[in-house]
Structure 1
Amino acid sequence: MAREHARVFTRIWSDLDWRKLPPLEQRLYFLLLSQGNVTQAGVLPLQVRKWAKGSDYTTEEEIAATLASLAEHRFVVVDEDTEEVLIRSFIRNDGVLKIPNVFKAALKAALTVESPKLRKALAGELRRLRRKDANTVADELFPIESVTHPEPIPNGSRTNPEPVKDRDEFPEPRGEGEGEGEGEGEPLAGGSVGGSRAPASTYPREAPPTEQRPPAQCRKHLGHTDPPPCRGCATAREAAEAWDAQQRHAHHDARSAEARQRAADRAAAIANCALCDPAGYIGTQLCDHDPDATARAARGRALVEAELAARRTTATQETT
């Protein structure tokens, strides 16, 4: 049964990370949250074309860029290969836990997810609930034992008080906001879509400091296809990923500016037009805001009809 409403807590507007999002990202988040085909686990199919039709002012390119930004800020997780999207805090914030049967349905829905990336994120979300049934499903989605470490762990003989997370595993947000409430803690490394946090304070939305992408390996291992674990390579990789994130932000901001300018131009044209309604239509036809268009079209039809009449007269004279 399709959902008929979406749950949004009023505390979302006090969430620092949510307030850092640009308006386009906030709007897209609400659009995703209110889709009728969101599962109880917070997963829905990747349907950029459909979402672009939610407003006459958005395009597929703008939706795709905005979705990538939401993923970088960790409000959603996206897998283009399996065409799945996860609203990451859905289970915690949509009232799923309050109804036992609904939560059971959410656990079943989680097990149907195909994307390894989404399964890993869901496993992390379920473990945050500290419930035995949620932990069981989390272990099936993404066992903790499957986490590997690229570098040796100091004092490996000691027993860790909790499982050590790898570099790409989803960290647990600190806040209670509708989105994620990451707080003002130290930014995490990494730039893969949906796999890391990239708030504005981490990657400024401005031109990258260098024109070329920095190498993702240290000088010692530059060009190696399978370098050994190396802290220098880890630092270089983080710098390269930061550069990539800046590039994506710059591209997204440019596209957003273009979209806002087009919307402003269209709104101004509608406001200055005496022919169309406030939506820019004349009946069911999109208005071109040209007051001479009707008269010009009539003149054109008259010229065409006169030319056809002249040809018919000439043809008749030639046959007689």
Structure 2
Amino acid sequence: MKKTDLRNARKETTMFLTDADIEDKYEATIRASIKEMKAQLSGLENITAFENLLKSNRKAIEQIVTLLGISSEKFKRVISWIRLSKGYTFDSEWDFSAMRNHILERRDYLELIYELITNGYNSQTFTSIVPQFILNYFRFDKSTLERLESDDYLRKLVKAKLTNSYNGEYCSLYYNLLYREINNISTEKNVIFKKQANVPDTNIKEVSLIEYNNKYIIVNSNFYLTTSSTQTKYADNITAMRSSIQGMNNIKMVNILDGAGWIGRSADYIKVYNDCDYFLTLKTISELKDIIDDFLIK
């Protein structure tokens, strides 16, 4: 079987998946988050109100961070930055749960974080240790509270926080669909398919592998909805894997790419396309039957 050409490979890419259960789940989560934020965050007029909110609501810090419009990761970095500048030593960053616990246990943390959240952009406590570009997020004033009046604005903030989780659900769905098809094909062809296996006589470990009579097909698959620098690392790893099996006539490599994120990383996409014997997508996975026939069991 001949490898599909690059143009057709791109044409057959599954750019997005749609699933009613996932969509309904996240729509319900967004609506619930908006309702809770509007009910919980309207009264942070003093530090006592902030403390009471933390005591009564385990998600309070996450909700405040969402309303401020800053990413969770950036917020955690700022907290670590401040802790270091104050001379504290630690082995790891706080997650939101640990942050809440420490704030409630120590008055100095409570006062520090309250000042950061409500007036960080204008506070001399922070302007000397945190760049103003980042501090501009940290204000809890009239304009911030006005955000609670707009469901559309809150929806945008909440969706931004859920993007990684949402994309992760679709990645899981993609791999479930793909592996189900590969399993079915392998069963039909009476060959062995393993999701995680070491390739004999190589240093390649924990890859998807189809095997029959001491012949092997390495199956690499990847799905990205958005672009990421990790795609370059993935492509480089594929190149290294391909190089390591050169000259081994009992091993072939199939690369499978899908997702709009790969179309947005053309150079990496082409590298993954080039470094394989066969190239497939979810839409063309049935062609794996021909590859098995032509190589494994001919």
Scaled by the length of structure 1, the TM-score of the pair is 0.25
User: Quick check: which one's helix share is greater?
Assistant: 2
Q: Which has the higher strand share?
A: 2
Identify which of structures 1 and 2 has the higher relative contact order when contacts are C-alpha pairs closer than 8 Å and 6+ apart.
2
